[in-house]
Amino acid sequence: MLQRDNAEAAEKQGKSPEAKQIRKEGIDWTKKHKPLISEYCAGVAMVPDSAKLIALWGPMVAKVTQNLYGCPGRVFSSLGEANL
């Protein structure tokens, strides 16, 4: 389970050239390993720390996660809900 706290700080940090390069490398790695991720990953649970991100990501996470990782994905409003 990946957890990112403080969405506002993460948004500011995410615009740096270093963050963009890290994202690119992560996406490249994910594409290369998608068959294995799809085979072994039961799913991806995202638990944003703000209602704004839940509303923003909620409608698209299932499709994006399936396309990117080859496994199901869903947004939850709490860690407890995600662990059920």
List of E strands, the chain: 44-46, 73-75
Asked whether the beta carbons of 38 and 68 are under 8 A apart, the reply is: no
**Does residue 23 surpass a pLDDT of 70?**
yes
Categorize the per-residue pLDDT at 73 as very low, low, confident or very high, splitting at 50, 70 and 90: very high
49 half-sphere exposure, CB direction, 13 A CA radius: 10
Segment among 30-34, 53-57, 68-72 with least mean pLDDT: 53-57
CA neighbor of 16 nearest in space, from 28, 27, 24: 24
